[in-house]
Structure formats: C-alpha cells, structure tokens
Structure 1
Amino acid sequence: MAATDGSAEALDAFVRARLAEEAGNPAASLSALRTVSSLAPGLPGVRGRMLEQAIQAGDFDAARSAAAALWDSGDRRFDAQLVLTVDALRRSDWKAARTYLAGQQDKAGVDVIARLIAPTINAWIDVGARAKRPERHLIAASPAARPEPALLLEATLVELAARRGDDAVALLDTIKPTDRSSQLVALRVVSALRAAGRDDAADGLERRIALARSEGDDPLTLLSGQPVATPRAGAAHWLALLADGLGRTPHGSPAVPLLFARAAGWLNEEDWQVRAVLTDALVRNGQAADALALLGDEALPPVLTMRRAELVADAGDPAAAIVLAERAAAAEDTPRSLLLRYADIAREAADDAAAERAYRRLEASLGVGDAPLRAAVLVARADLVLRTQGWDAAEPLIDRALKLGPDDPMVLNFAGYSAIERRRDVDASLKMIEAAWAKEPQNPSITDSLGWAYVLTGRLDEAVPLLEKAQRGEPENAVIVEHLGDAYWKAGHRFSARYVWRAAALVADADMATRIETKLRDGLTAATLAP
C-alpha cells in the first residue's frame, strides 16, 4: 500500500482486526476487516481472513459475500466452496449447488469432497430436484467389499424422503449399524420410518441399534427424535455428523469442525443435534459466550438444557446453573449420564444436598449387573460425605464400594488415600494404593496418591520420583504440584520446593493459595503440610 492517509487508516483497521481475532472476538475482527477491504480492496489475504472470521462469528451474509469474491477470483478454497454450496441449498438452487460441489479443489479438498461430502449432498440435491434414484450416489460410495453402513443408512433416509418406502425397507435389511456414526444415522432412519408409518421396520432397526450400542448415554443419541425429510435437513444432519466426528479427533484444529457445524446450522438450526454439535464446536474454539447465546432461553430438550446449565456454571452463575440442571433432570426416567452431569454441577456449585439427591437417584437406577458403576457412585457419595460429615459417616459407603469393586483401581485408590491422609490403618491403606498403582501405573492421580502416601510414611526416596512422574502427567493439577513441592522440601531440596510451590499457586484455589503463600514465606511446617 502507498503511504497515504487511506493506507494508514487501512493499516490501523488491519491491526485492530488482528487484535480482535487474537482476543477471540470474530465479530469485531470482521468489522475491522470490512474497513480494510473498503480502503484497500486489493490487499492479499483479506477476503480469506474475512471468510474465516465470518464463519467464526456466524455471519452468513458476510461469509457468502467473502466466499463469492474468493470463488470469482479463482481462489476456490474448501471453506468458500462449502459456504457457497450451503447458500445454493438454502435457495433450493439445485443446479448451482451441484456446480459448487463439483468445483475445482486442491488434492486435499478433492479427497474431503469425494469421500465425506459429495455422495450425501448430491443425493439430497437429487431429492430436491426429483431425480431418479437419488440414493445411487451413496450406494456407489460404499464398495461391496467394504460396505460403509453410515452411507447405506443415509441412502435409506434418502429413499424415504423420496417416498420410496419399500425400497428403503428392503435396503435396510442388508445393513448392520456397527460404528457410532452409523448408529446415529440409524436413529434418524427410525424417526423417518415412524413418520412414514413403517413402525415394524422402525422397531426392528431400534433392536439392532440396541445390540450394537456400547454402554453409556451419548448426548447425540438422546436427541434423535427429529426425522430428516428435506434436502436442507438432510445435508444439515450429515454435516453436523461430520463436525462431531472431526471434533473428537485428538489434537485437531477447532476451526475445521466449527466450519462444518456452522454450515449445518446455516442449513437447519432447528435440528437439535445440529444445535448440540455447533454448541460444542463453539466451546472448543473458545467461544463459550456464543455457545450459550446459541442455546438461548427457549424450551430445550433435557440434554441441551443440561449443556446450558454447564455453560452457565462455567460463566460464573452456579445458582442459575443448579436451577437449569434440576430442570434437565426432572423426569423420573432421566438418563444416567444426565444425573451424573447434574451431580457434577451441584458439586461445583457447592450444593451438597443437590449432589446427594443426584447420586441417590443414580444409585436407585442401577441393576444387579451394574456393580462397577454402583461402586463409582458410592465413591462419589463418600467423597461428598467426607467433606461435609467426616470419616465416620463416609466409611460405610467406602466399605460398600470396596465390596463391589475389590480390584477396581479407582476404588482402591480412593479408599486407601482417604484413609491414609487421616492416618487410619496406615499399613492396610498403603497396600490398597500400591495395588491400585500396580494396575494403573500410568495414571497420574494414582501415582500421586502413592507418592504422597510414601511422603506421609517417611519413604521420601521413593516418594519424589513418583510425584515427579505424576506432575509430568498432569502439570496443571494443583494438588499434585503442591504434593511435589512438599516432598522436595522434606527431602532437603528447598529451592526446588519453592519453585514448584509458585507453580502450584498459579492454579490453586483460595485455601491452597493461602497455604502456599505461608509456605513460601515461612517454609513447610506441620500446619502447612498439604492435606
């Protein structure tokens, strides 16, 4: 840019855009980038950055405008392609949607389009265009040698939307919903079958899903009641499914699942699964306030009400979070996963009575074959009772947990650590912790328990290496870091102890911070030894 008043203003706006981006304020960044674009329309990279910030901010008009400018200039990047495809679907312009979907890409983009998106979106475009056999795209993408049940189940969903129920049921008989993605699609098929009056086929598919499903309540499976019958709804549900899967990829960029989730939301934000996936994508991208706003104040399904409660708690309003959590868990048949989340919110809010109610309800829902979960609930209740009523009230719960899980590392560690820190039957307690560690030597919490038990029993040479290992495993766990500092002090490593205590103080709660401050000033004493 030439050194003119306009270029200076553009540079100032660009700096403001970058600062807003780094501060996690995409709307402000987008506004500043608009100024840059108006003052210096030829500045390289501005349109791409505008598209990225518009996607994060959820500004569809801005995203469409930036994507169109990039596309027309020959920069046919994947995010622009997806936004323009979504725009065409929103307008029911099937020809344009197909054109954008087939647009030129770099090799990575081609792979993504061909494998994950094109078969499904093309099938739903064909439903809208009333083409013959729209499911053919999906069936062709699932080779006979290695069938992909999610694609084949999506094909039955397409056939139902095209009002070819007999063909859908016939295809359904050949598919086994094995993995999580196929089970989630299968739940949509169940809803579509019921909407089409095919209850027998829906019942049969539900039984097969139940046989394949692993234990636990997946939040998305609790939001499966909305049928998918239109191209927009079909494309939205599939893009949300992809966003959810990408969000579960370890060490993945949060921007990629957010792109897919935004696209799904722009197509059908009334879909509860889409709303749930977009909420989590926003949280992963550091946009918790936007996620909370997305859920709004309207009536939500229980699982989304519980998610809202968690976000409200994280935002610093525990009282309001408890109200929402109780609303989410009000039904007698509340799933166990929601009761556990209710208990976690109650504990974070220091509402011990609410937490106890949640644990009692959870325990009452368990059957004979649920011994491991019953033991875990008893441990949680015992931990709560230890804080509020002391050892004598908690000991019967701990004993019950040990009878149910005598070889469970979590139960052994909790029972041994709780007893040894109160100097109750030290030898037996230490043996329980050692047994837990022998089963899970890589678990930082159990490693910390054993190291601290050795500190309390005077075995410092063994304690320090264990606590160092625990700290490497969970470097931001204040309890572990304080334990290591205390062990260093007892072992005579005073400089190391003070260094570690300062690190612990950065992540400590109020009580721990006060204790560490005293140790940093006066050194370790019996009164300031970690609990």
Structure 2
Amino acid sequence: MASVLSIGAVAPAGADTARLADYLQARAADADGQGDIALAGYARVLAAAPASGAVALPAYREALAAGDVALATRAAAVLRGTPDAPADLPLLPLAIAAERNDAAEAEAAVAALEKTPLAVMVPSLRAWIAFTQGRDPAPAIAAGGKNPVTQRLAAETAALIQIARGDTATGLATVQALRATGSPIDLRLSAAQLLFARGQGAEARALLTGADPVFAALRRGAAAEPTLAYGVSRLFGRVAGDLADQQVTPLSIALARTALIAWPANDRARLLLAEALAGEGATARALATLDAMPADSPFASTATAARISVLVAAKREEEALALARRDAGRSDAGEAEWQRYADRLSAANRNADAAPWYRRVVDADPAAWAAWLQYGGALEQAGDWPAGRAALQKAVALAPREPLALNYLGYAQAQRGVDVTASTAMLERAHALKPADHSITDSLGWAYYVNGDVARALPLLESAAAGDPVNAEIGEHLGDAYWTLGRRYEARYAWRAAALTAPPADAARLVTRIAQGLPRQ
C-alpha cells in the first residue's frame, strides 16, 4: 500500500489511475515471471513518476535482469542516497565507467561501493584503476586490511596484474600459491588470457591442463588485454561465481550483468547470469542470455550444458532431451556430451537407450569407476541384470573403497537374493565409509531384512527414514519391517507416508499393502 500511495502523490488523479494500473500490472507480471511485461510497466510508471523510490527499486532490478542499461541508470539515479538504495547500486556506474575507461568516474563509484558490504572488492578495484592509469597498484593491494575475503581477492588481483605488467615468473608463482590454497579455476583462466595477450602461449597452456572442455578450448588461444573493463568485469564475475550457490539471486544478477556491461566478451559472466536468471524462474531471459554466447566461444559447450539445465528446471524435459541428443550426435562430441545425453535418457526412464551412451563414456576412459557404475546401473534398470552386474562388479573392482559403488552392487544383489552374505558385507563396508548417507543406511538395513535378521534391520531403517522422510523406497522398507514384526499400525503409517511421494506404479503397490498387508511368502 505504501508504494501505491507514493505513486499517487505525484500527479493529478486521472493520471494516478493509469499509473496505478501500470504499476499493478507490472507487479503482477513480475510475480508471474513475465519479465518483459513487468519491464515495460515499470518503465512507464517510472517515466510518469520519476521520483518514486517504490517504483525505482523493482524497475532497477528488472532492468538489470533484462540488460536495459538506460532504464537501470534512470532507476539508480532515483534510488541513490535513499534508504531504498541497494548495496549493489554503485556496480552499474562502475561498470559503465570501466567500459569507457573513465578512471575518474570509476573511482567515484568505488568510493560509493566502499560504504557497502561489497567493499571487499574495493582494494582490487583501485589496483586495476591504478594499473590502467600507469600508477603503482601496490598501495591499493596493501590496503586490503584483515578481512580474509578482501585479502583473497586482492592477492588474485595482484597475481593478474603482475602477469599483465610482464612479471610473469612472480605472477605465475602467486597463481600457483593461490591454487594450493583452493583458488577457483577462474584465476587460471584469467591468467592464461593475459598470457596469451602477451604472446606467452606456452605458459598459458601450462595453466590450462586437464580435460575440462573450457580449458581444452582455451588452449587454442583466447587472449584478453588487461584493460580497466577487463579487470572490473573479471572481479565482478569472480564474486558472482562465489555467490552462485548462496541464494542471493538479485545480487548475483547485478554482479553478472554489470560484469557484462563492463566487458561484453566475458562469457563466464554470461553463464553465471543465465544461471541466476533461471534461479529466479526467468527462463526466457536465461535462454536469451545463452543465445548471445558466440558459437566460437570457449564456453560454448558449457553454454549448451547450461541450456539443458535451464530447460530441465523449467520442466521442459523433451526440449532438454532433444538438445542433448543433438549435442551428443555432433561429429566432435566427446565424453561430456555423451554423458549429458545418457543422463537425460536415464532421467526419462529410458535406461535401455541410455546404456549404449554410457558405454561410450566407459570406452573413452575404462579406468573410471563412476562410468562403469552408471553403465551398470542403466543395464540393471533396463532389465539386463547379468550384464549390469558385471559392469557393477567392474566399478567395485576399480574402487573397492567407494561407498556408492559398494552400495549399488550390494543392494542390487541383496534385493535379488544373490550372494546375500557377500552383499551384506559390501554394504557394511559402504556404511562404515559413509555412515551419514541415509540411502546406504537403508540398503544395509534392507540386506539384514532380506537375510532374515529383522531385529537388526529395524534401527537402521528407522534411522534412514528419519533422515530422509520423503524417500518412498525407504518408507516402504520400514513399513515391511514393521509388518514382519507384527507392528501393523506402524507399518500402515509408514506405507501411507511413502505413498505420498512414490511414483504412480509404486504408489499403487503401496495402496495394496495398506489394505492387505504384506503378501504371504
């Protein structure tokens, strides 16, 4: 109600009615994920009520999500200096200044950022400004204080600037030292880009070892000049990557979008922006963001994977499956593409179709236990138990202390009554290795049950059900154990709970159990 009143106080009543309708329509569209309609509505209301903070904040957020720099700038001007101003507000003028290489404007925006929780970036930003203006960045780096996040970002920035200045040995030593303490792969990527720009391809490629498809593409050469735009964009993207899993989507969108405003070639930021938009339910915008990825970008294959994830999250499984199929069928497709397609087939319960694609992954790396596990799982789910068991045994042979492999083979054998004693021993090893895993706890309890030791099984099944109360299979197992022990009321309660989350076929079986109890053996 407060936001409506603040709009209505600006113009005559006739105009207020139209403005209020636009505002309410924009809010409704915003809530429904109709971003373009919301954006147009906020733009109209902000134009009619240019001093309204109540409109400016959602307009600012919507404009950043859409990449409408003009509207975001107008909204930011309204918000600046008000209680409604978000902490990320200085990011936009900073990105615009960086893109223009305007050091004075950039410094003014950094000064505003210093008063917000995003001040952790300030020493690094000032270092980039100093470096690109021909000044010594060391004093800015040294001003990081004792905040560990600030220090970490400043250390990474120092390494990149050392490389950009031609002090390759010191810069690479700093990169390696930071790698040893857990720096993200973004640092190696950024360092390699700067090395390529200096013509030091061998040193760049030495940083990009491994099978990661992005690194493999970057090894062909992907230079970036150490401009202010690059430094600001790289830092914003770095922080956005750290926030990707922390449920702070508006800030993630702001960081990734302004990283792209500063340096539109930052395809890593493009991926992060698409992920953040998808997290807000803005599927169309997320897909449009990925559409803007150049076909020859080192991140192109990752963008395809991201597109598949966005489609799956939006419940557009058929489109995701079709895209994964096209990707896996490319002449230059490899393990990552085959794996994604097999995973989508498996998710669609098409395990017989998935198995040959998992087999391709196995053949590409026969020593990978996880590939054998997935291949064996697909065969087993498709009904080819002998071949599935052989593949699962191979996984266990390759990784005899891997709980997932031990659990899958042990449970599959126990469920079929095959070598139950050895299967139980396998599950006991898995449980000892990973005692907090509720699925493994359930598997071991079920093996005891199948072996006739219901008293020993029950506490394990109860523990698994308490830890994962929505797992229908665990709930069914618990109900079976209760019934066998004569605890009929508790059995039916466990089965009813399981039926709430079970797939239709399993739910039908549970309904029969609830009505008739366990079938007689």
Do they fold alike, i.e. is TM over 0.5? yes
**Which ranges of structure 2 fall in alignment gaps of 5 or more residues?**
none
Corresponding residue for residue 348 of structure 1? 347
Asked whether 1:291 is paired with 2:286, we answer yes
State the one-letter code of the partner of 1:122: R
Query: Equivalents in 2 of 1:405, 1:64: separation in Å?
Result: 56
Give the aligned partner of residue 191 of structure 1. Answer: 193
Output one character per residue of 1:296-341: Cα deviation in whole Å (capped at 9) or x when no partner: 286363232233234345522254133243057x537x4x555543
Is the 2:256–2:272 Cα contact (8 Å) retained in structure 1? Answer: yes
Distance in 1 (CA, whole Å) between partners of 2:470 and 2:70 is 41
Unaligned residue ranges in structure 1 (runs of 5+)? 211-215
**Alignment partner of 1:45 is 2:54:** yes
User: Which position in structure 2 is the counterpart of 1:80?
Assistant: 89
Q: 1:524 to 1:16 in 2, by over 3 A?
A: farther
Matching of residue 112 in structure 1 with residue 118 in structure 2 = yes
Distance, in Å, in 2 between the alignment partners of 1:503 and 1:255 is: 37
**Matched residue, 1:237:** 234
Question: Partner amino acid for 1:112?
Answer: L
| Residue pairs, 1:306-321, within 5 angstroms | 306-314=305-313, 315-317=316-318, 318-321=320-323
Deviations 1:446-498 (A, max 9, x none): 01212333443454444444333323433443433443444455555656555
Paired with 1:223 and 1:471, the residues of 2 have a C-alpha distance of 46
Partner of 2:77: 68
Change (3 A) 1:316 1:74: closer
Amino acid at match of 1:402: V
8 Å CA contact 1:416–1:430 kept in 2: the answer is: yes
Give the deviation of 1:426 after TM superposition.
Answer: 2.5
Query: Equivalents in 2 of 1:124, 1:171: separation in Å?
Result: 15
Cα deviation 1:53-103 (Å, max 9, x = unaligned): 333444333222211211165865422111222222234433222112112
Measure, in 1, the Cα distance between the counterparts of 2:188 and 2:76. Answer: 34
Q: Which runs of 4+ in 1 moved over 6 A?
A: 216-220
Alpha-carbon distance in 1 for matches of 2:421, 2:455 = 18
CA distance in 2, matches of 1:452, 1:56: 49
2:269 maps to which of 264, 271, 274:
274
Match of 2:447 among 453, 473, 476: 453
Q: What is the one-letter code of the residue matched to 1:256?
A: L
AA partner of residue 69 (structure 2): F
Corresponding residue for 2:519?
A: 526
Structure 1 residue aligned with 2:157:
154
Output the CA distance in 1 between the equivalents of 2:28 and 2:476.
36
**CA distance in structure 2 between the partners assigned to 1:146 and 1:347 by the alignment:** 41
Distance, in Å, in 1 between the alignment partners of 2:46 and 2:321 is 45
Query: Take 2:429 and 2:379, find their aligned partners in 1: how far apart are those partners?
Result: 25
For 1:80, what is the secondary structure of its paired residue?
coil
* Structure 1 residues 372-451: aligned runs within 5 Å: 374-451=368-445
Q: Given the alignment of the two structures, is residue 132 of structure 1 paired with residue 129 of structure 2, yes or no?
A: no
d(CA) in 1 for partners of 2:513 and 2:48?
58
> Are the equivalent residues in 2 in contact too, given 1:460–1:487 (CA < 8 A)?
yes
- 1-structure distance, mates of 2:258, 2:499: 42
Q: 2:260 is matched with which residue: 253, 258, 265?
A: 265
Name the CA distance, whole Å, in 1 between partners of 2:85 and 2:459: 55
Letter in 2 for 1:79: D
Task: Measure, in 1, the Cα distance between the counterparts of 2:203 and 2:378.
Answer: 47
1:100 aligned residue: 109
* 1:402-455 C-alpha deviation (Å, 9 max, x unpaired): 333333322221111101111222333223223322222210110121233344
Say if 1:170 and 1:411 are closer, same or farther in 2 by CA, change over 3 A.
closer
Contact kept, 8 Å, 2:253 with 2:273, in 1: the verdict is yes
CA RMSD of superposed structures (Å): 3.8
d(CA) in 1 for partners of 2:55 and 2:487? Answer: 54
Q: What is the match of residue 213 of structure 1?
A: none
Q: Counterpart of 2:62 in structure 1: which amino acid?
A: Q
Whole-Å separation in 2 of the counterparts to 1:466 and 1:18: 50
State the secondary structure of the residue aligned to 2:304.
helix
Question: Cα gap change, 1:491/1:305 in structure 2, threshold over 3 Å: closer, same or farther?
Answer: same
Alpha-carbon distance in 2 for matches of 1:148, 1:444: 39
| Secondary structure in 1 matching 2:253 | helix
Measure how far apart 1:240 and its partner are: 1.1
Residues matched between the structures, number: 499
The answer to whether the 8 A contact 1:302-1:327 is kept is: no
Q: 1:275 to 1:477 in 2, by over 3 A?
A: farther
Letter in 2 for 1:226: A
* Residues 146 and 22 of structure 1, relative CA distance in 2, 3 Å threshold: closer
| Residue matched to 1:362 | 361
Q: What corresponds to 2:325 in structure 1?
A: 323
**Structure 1 pair 360–70 and aligned structure 2 pair: CA distance change class (3 A):** same
Q: For structure 1, which segment, 8-17 or 91-100, has the greater mean C-alpha deviation from structure 2 after superposition?
A: 8-17
Kindly indicate whether the alpha-carbon contact (under 8 Å) linking 1:451 and 1:466 is maintained by their aligned counterparts in 2: yes
Distance 2:459 2:214 in 1: 43
Aligned equivalents of 2:14, 2:459: Cα separation in 1: 63
- What CA distance in whole angstroms lies between the structure 2 residues aligned with 1:46 and 1:146? 34
The Cα of 1:243 is off from its aligned counterpart by 0.8
Aligned 8 A contact 1:150 1:177 in 2: no
Secondary structure of residue in 2 paired with 1:270: coil
Whether the 8 Å CA contact 2:88–2:251 is kept in 1: the answer is no
